[in-house]
A and B are shown apart, each in its own frame.
Chain A
Amino acid sequence: MPVARHVLAVSALALAAACTPVERPSAPLDAFAFPTGIGLSDGHLLVVSSNADLTYEDDKGGSLLSLDPDASLANEAPAFTGGIRIPSFGGTLVVADPVACGLPSGPEALFASRLSGDLYRVPVGANGSLTCGQGCTVNLAKPGEGDPLSVTLACVDGRPKRAFVGWRRSRVGTSCDPNASSTETCAIISEVTLDGAVSRVSTGPVVFNAGSIQAVQYDATTDLLFFATSGSHVGWIDLSTGCGLAPTDLQCSRQAIDLGQVARGAAARNVALATPVPGVPRRLYALARLLDPNAASVGIEVQIGGALIVLDLELNSLGTITARPIRTVPLTTGVSEMLVLPRAGKRDVVAITAVDDGEIWFYDDELGAVTGVLARGPDGVPLAGLGPFAMASEDRGGGVVRLYVTAFHGNEVTVLDVLDLDDPDPLSTPPGVMVVGKIGG
C-alpha cells in the first residue's frame, strides 16, 4: 500500500481520535487483517497481518498467525496453531531454517514492523506455536527515523548468518553519508546477525538519490544482495569480501542500474534471481510499475501498467557486472510481488501478483512470454482473491506446486494448485492452474 495512503489513514484516525476518543481493540488472533507476509515452516502456514486501516490499536493491531493449511482447507475454516500480536504495518515474511541459519531454538519467522522499526524474530514451534520472548525484537530504526519493511536471509555454510532488512522510507539525510547534501536521499539496508547470542545490527546507505528500498533479495550462489528501490533502480551489493553496510565497515562494492532506461516510466517494485543455469549468464527478474512520466513531472503518480524486465548478469572484463536487458514483458497495473518457480531442465516460471487488478500472472522464461493469467471470474471477483499480494509455494509432488497467496483486501489466503508449469493457465484444457480454496475471509 502506498505510504501516502498510510499517512492519510493515520491522519484521518488522528483527527477522529481528537474529536471522539475511541478505544480500539487489539488484533484478533483468529482472523487476518490486511495480510502482507506469508511463509511456510514445517507444514505450518505463517501469515503476517498488517492492520493497514488501523481498525485495531496501533501497537498490538497486527498479528503473526500460524495455521495448518490442509486442515483449514478440509474443514473450510482456519485451523490456527499459534498467534501473537505485533505492532501494525508488518511487512514481508521469511522463515529461517534452524540448521542453515544456526538457530538452536528452531525455525524463526522474520519480518519487520514499519510502525515500531523493529525486526521480529519469532521462534516457530514444531506444533506451529509462536512465542515472542527475549530477543524477539531487534530495533533497527528509531521513532520517525524510517520504516524497515522487506527482509531476506543470507544463511550459507561458512559465512556469517544474516538477515538484511530494506527500509521502505528514510528521512532525507538520516544515516546518509555525512557528506551528502541536504537534498539527497539515501536507500537504507540494515544487516542483522542471526547466529549470535545477541543480534548485531549495522545499518548504512546503499545508494543515493534512488528513493528508498522496496525489496531485498540475497543470492547465495553469487553472495550478492540485490535490492529494488522506490525509484527506478535495482542494484546489488557484493557481500563476498567480508565487507559490511555500516559506514565504519570495510565498504562493499555496489552497482545499480536504472530500469527507466529500459522501459520508459519504470518504477522498480521487486527483484528476484532466476534459478542458475549452467553455462549461461545469471538472470535477474526486475518487476516494475509503469508510471506516466509527464504526470510525475507535475507531482501526480499515474500508474499505467506494469512490466517484468529480464536482465542477464554478465561479469565483464573489468570485474564488474553488466546487466543486459534481454526482454521487457508488459503486465497489468499494481504488480507487487514475485515468486520464482523452478522447472527441471527449463528456465523458470515466475508468478507475479497484481494487487490493484486482483490478478496473478505467470511468466515463462523459457518462452519469454506470459503463459497464464488468473484474473477475474464473470462476476468480476478476482479468482485469486481481493488484492493478491504475498506468495509462498509448496511442492505437492507429481509436478504440482501449491501457491498460498495473501489477499490483502480480502483478509484471506487463496490456495492455488499449479498443475502444469509449462502451461499455468486456467483457460487451457485441462486447466494448468486451479483455485483449491480459501482460508479465512
Chain B
Amino acid sequence: MNVRRTSALLALAVAAGCGSTKTTLPVMFDQPAGVAVFMGVTVKNAGIHPYAAVANGAREDLTLLDAIDDKPVLSPILLRALAVVTHPLAACPTCAPRPGRLVSGSLHDVDGLGQSLQKADLLGVLIQGSPVMQVVRTWNEDNQMVDELELDLSGYAPGSDVVFAVTAPVPDATGAPVPGKVRVIFALTGRRLVVAEYDRDPGDGEGIVPGPVTVQDLDFQPLHLAVAEDPRLVYAATLDEVPVGSGRHGVVELDASGTPGTWTEDLLDARAPTRLVAALDVGERDFAVNSVDVKGTEPHVPRVYAALDTSGCGPAFEIECGIVTIDPAPGVRGIVPDPLGELPYQPPMRIPASPLAMVPVGLPAQTPDTWTPGTTRIHTSLGMRDTAAVLAVAASDGRIYPVDLSRRTLLNDQTMLRDIANSSTQTRTRCDGVTTLVDPDSTSTLEAEVCTLADPGTACTPVADLVNAKDEVIVTPGYTFTEIFSTVWQGVLPGLGGFGFGHVDTPVGVKAMTLGVGGKLRVAFQTPSTLGYTEVVRVFDPALGVRRGDILQLATFNGNVAPGDPASLAACEVDVPVDETRTIWPWNIDTHDYVVTDILPPDPVEYPGGALVVDDDGSPCMAALMAGATPRASVRAAGWVLSGGNVGYAGRPAVVTAPDDPNVRIRVELRYSDQDAADKDCPLAPWPANPETVVCDDDCRLRCENRLISHLTRRWYTMADQCAEDTGCRDRWGNGADPFPNKKGPVVQFEFTIREDDLQGVPQPTLNVERDLGYRVSLGGGHSPTAFYPTQYVVWPADLALFDKSPWNVNASTRFYVAYMGDEVYDFSPSEPINVPATIR
C-alpha cells in the first residue's frame, strides 16, 4: 500500500457520513481502467447471473461484482474479493499483464425451439499496451483466464496496437444474430480492424471456443467503434478526412453484412472530426409539433451519435463542439436537420467538459406500472422526464451527463423559461441587469435611456429606471448565453488597446510600430523580437472588427515615462500638466487621433499582421511618427460598437433614428444569419497560411464580420422545457397559448436613445455624443445541465458499462457502472434520484 492509498483511506474516513451515497464492502479496486457487465457463473450465485467485471489497471487482475447487490465475488478464503488474474504474456514473461478495456457480449443462444436461452457471455480482457486479449472462463466457477482463447493480434496485424474494441452479434442475411456466436471487432493502429469470432462450444454446450479471425483494412484510422441495432452496420469515429482530400469529416459507416475483410466504407458527415461514437434506434419526439412531450408511441429510427473532436469544432469552426445526432438514412447521411429550419444542421448537444466515454441505452426490459409505456426516465432537479433513450456521457469534469436522446438535448436542472415565484433570483434565460457607461468626469448634457419594447421603430418611450430596463432587453432561450455585452459610442475594439474607464488610470494601448511610407503613416501592432516580431496583432483579420474610417489613437507619454517603456515621443507632447490627482498611473498620456484610411494585408517582413494607414496631418508629431516610433495604440470604432467580455467583437449596432425623431436611437441586435453562406464568403477565415496574397476589400471584410457573428449567434441549446401553466412565461416568450416557445430569437436585442438633457423634443441633428457612453447588459443563459456523479473522488471516469437490472428489480431500471480512476465504481440509473446511486470502493 502506498502513500496514495493511505491518503485515500484517510480521506474516505474524513468524508464518511458527508455524502449521500452508500458505501458497500471495501472491495479495494486499484485504478479501474475498464468495466463490463456479463452473464456468467461464479461461486457467489447458483447458475447464470449478472456480474460487473472491473479491470484493476494498476494490478494484474479483475474484480467481479454481483450486479444485483453490488457486492464482490469473494475469493475462496472469503476474506477478500476474488482476483481474476491476467496471465503473463509469451512476448514478455517478466512483464506485468495489466488489464485495460473489457469487452463482453452475448452469444445469442437459443434452445431447440429457437427460443432465447441465457448462457454465459464472452468476457474479454485487453492487456494494456499489448495486442493481446485474454478471455475469462465465465461458464463455470473457475473464473480464470482461458489460455486456449488468448488472442494475440500481432499474428494478424504485425506492429499494431489495439485502440478500441467492441463486441457484436454475428448477423445473418436479415441482420438477426446467428445463435451461438459473437464477434469482437478490434480497432487497431495502422488503419485496420481485426474481427475475431467466438462460438459456443459444441461439445459441452456451455464453454466458448475460438472462431475465425479476419483482417479488415481501412482507408482511415478508427478511434472508437459502435455497432447498430442491426449488426450489419458498424460505425467508426475518426479524425481523418474521408475520403482523403475531400475535406469531409465525420463517422464512417461500415457495411458489415458481408464477410469481414470485404466491408465497405461510407462517410456520415458530421462537419468535424469525431472521437467517440454510439448508435441506437430511438423514438424521438415529433419535432414538427411544438411540444416537448415524449409519448412512448414514437417510431424508433436509427441514429448515430458522435462526440466531435476539439481539433475541428468550436466558435471558429463550421460547428460548435458537442455531440451531434446523425441520421444514417439515405438522403440525409449526416447531422439531422435543424427542427427550426434555421441552422444547416441541428446544433450539437453541448457537454460542459470533454467526453471520455459514452454508452446509449433504450428502454428497459420491464418498467413499473406507473411509467408511461414505451418510455424510460431521466431524473432531473425539476422532476422526472419521460424519454425513449438516454446517452450516458462520462466527461473530464468527473460527471456523467444523461443526454435525452428523444429530445436530442442535455436536460436542464433549472427552468430556462419560467420565473421562480417569490424570488429575486431567477434561473431562466434572462437579462440580469443594465448599467450605463458614463464617464464620472463628464460634463456632457446628454442622456441615454433604454426604450420600452412596446414601440419598436417609433419614437422611444424611455424606461423609467435601469431596474426596469433589464426587462426591456430581449433574450431567447437556447440562443442567449451567459455573457456581459457592452454597447459603446466610439468604443475601443476588443483587444485593440483601450484606456481605462476615466481615461488614464491604467496602462494604455497595444504596443505598436509606426513608419512613414509614401507620405502616409503605417501603424502595425507588434513588438520587435529576436524572431522578427512578437505580439503581432492581425489587424487585417476582420474578426477583430477594424474598418476603414475607424479611429486610430496613438498614445505617447510626457512627463515621467513608464519604466522601460520607449513610448515617449517629445514631438508629440502637448502642453498638459501632469495630473497629480491620478495616483495609479502618474504619467500623463498624450493621445493623438487619426482616421484609418486603409487596412494593409500582412507583409511577412515588415508587418506580419497587417498595418493600418493614416494620412499625414503635417504636424511635428506626425513627422516624428513617420520617422519610426513605438507608441502605444488603440483602435476605436467610428460609431457604435458591441462587444462581449468573453466573445470579443460582436458587430456594430445600427442607428435607427426615425426621420422625425430629434434624438439618436440605437438598436442592439445579435441575430443568427445563414452560416453556410457566410462561411463561403470570407477568404480570411480560417486565417490562411499566406494572408499576404488574399485580397479582401471593405465588402469582403463586412462579409467576414457577418461570418463571425453568424457563428457567435448559432443556437446552442435545443429546448426541452415548457411554460406549463405559467401564463407570464407564455407572454414573456411570445408563444401565446402554446406551452413551448419554439421561436428563433436573437441572442440579445434592445434599443436606446441619446438625447440632450432638458431639450427633449428639440431637434438636435448634430448631437455630440461623448466617447465611451453606452450601456452594459448582463445576460444569463439559464442552463445547469443534469448530471450524476459520486460525492467523493469525482476524477476521471474512465469507462462505462450498461446493465438492465429491471428483470430483477423493475424499479432499478437500466443503469450504468462507471469506473473512476480514484479506485471506485459508481452504480447509478438516470431514472433514480441523485442520492440513490451506490459508490463501490
Contact = CB atoms under 8 A, between A and B. Distances in A.
A99 B708 CA distance: 50
A328 B354 contact: yes
A305 B796 contact: yes
Q: Which of the four size classes fits the interface of chain B?
A: 35 or more
Interface stretch (A134-142, A199-207, A418-426): A418-426
A427 B495 CA distance: 52
A333 B31 CA distance: 9
A273 B247 CA distance: 29
Interface stretch (A81-89, A108-116, A189-197, A243-251): A243-251
B794 A238 contact: no
B795 A248 contact: no
A242 B10 CA distance: 50
A334 B96 contact: no
Which residue, of A279, A315, A319, has the highest number of chain B Cβ atoms within 10 A? A319
A369 B161 contact: yes
Contacts of A357: 2, 58
Nearest to A294: B792
Nearest to B536: A319
Interface stretch (B380-388, B407-415, B525-533): B525-533
Contacts of B15: 294-295
A311 to B, nearest CB: 10
Interface string A263-295: 111000000000000010000000000111111
Interface stretch (A11-19, A90-98, A428-436): A428-436
Contact of B95 (A156, A307, A315, A383): A383
Nearest to B13: A300
Contacts of B132: 427
A241 B527 contact: yes
B92 interface: yes
Interface string B1-19: 0111001101100110000
Contacts of B618: none
A357 B159 CA distance: 27
Contact of A430 (B91, B129, B791, B822): B91
B564 interface: yes
A222 B96 CA distance: 41
Interface size class of A (residues with CB under 8 A): 35 or more
A158, A298, A302: residue with the most chain B Cβ atoms closer than 10 Å: A302
Nearest to A292: B793
B793 A378 contact: no
Interface string B71-97: 000000000000000001111111111
A350 B287 CA distance: 48
A105 interface: no
A307 B396 CA distance: 11
A317 interface: yes
Nearest to B154: A429
B529 A333 contact: no
A376 B30 CA distance: 15
Interface string B93-111: 1111110000000000000
A158 B90 CA distance: 54
Q: Which of A301, A307, A317, A328 has the largest count of B CB atoms less than 10 A from its CB?
A: A317
B689 interface: yes
Interface centre among B11, B534, B536 (most CB of A within 10 A): B534
Given A238-B534, A431-B91, A264 B3 contact: no
B154 A300 contact: no
Contacts of B11: 292, 294-295, 298, 300, 302
Nearest to A434: B92
A373 interface: yes
B609 interface: yes
Contacts of B538: 317-319
A279 B2 CA distance: 45
Nearest to B539: A317
Given A223-B530, A425-B161, A305 B822 contact: yes
A300 B14 contact: yes
Interface in A361-383: 362, 367-378, 383
Contact of B127 (A298, A427, A431): A427
Nearest to A300: B11
Contacts of B798: 330
A292 B129 contact: no
Given A371-B129, A427-B129, A264 B31 contact: no
A290 B821 contact: yes
A262 interface: yes
A223 B92 contact: no
A326 B239 CA distance: 12
Interface in B784-829: 791-796, 798, 821-823
A426 B89 CA distance: 10
Nearest to B495: A318
Contacts of B159: 420, 422-423
B535 A367 contact: no
B96 A378 contact: yes
A209 interface: no
B396 A356 contact: no
Given A264-B396, A429-B91, A304 B14 contact: no
A303 interface: yes
Contacts of A334: 4
Given A319-B526, A319-B537, A377-B96, A262 B163 contact: no
B507 to A, nearest CB: 11
Contacts of A264: 353, 396-398, 794-796
Nearest to A160: B530
A301 B5 CA distance: 11
A414 interface: no
Contacts of A159: 530
Interface string B169-194: 00000000000000000000100000
A312 interface: yes
A319 B783 CA distance: 33
Given A241-B529, A376-B96, A425-B129, A367 B161 contact: yes
B598 interface: no
Most buried by A among B128, B129, B527, B541: B129
A373 B537 contact: no
B537 A377 contact: no
Contacts of B8: 292, 302, 304
Contact of A377 (B94, B510, B528): B94
Nearest to B160: A423
Nearest to A306: B821
Contacts of B93: 378
Given A293-B795, A319-B537, A427-B97, A241 B528 contact: yes
B310 interface: yes
Given A263-B396, A427-B91, A429-B90, 14 more contacts: A241-B527, A279-B689, A294-B791, A302-B4, A302-B7, A315-B536, A317-B541, A319-B536, A328-B396, A333-B4, A368-B223, A371-B129, A378-B94, A427-B92
9 contacts: A240-B534, A293-B795, A294-B792, A295-B11, A300-B14, A317-B495, A423-B159, A427-B127, A428-B131
Closest CB pairs A-B (n = 4): A240-B529, A250-B564, A427-B130, A295-B11
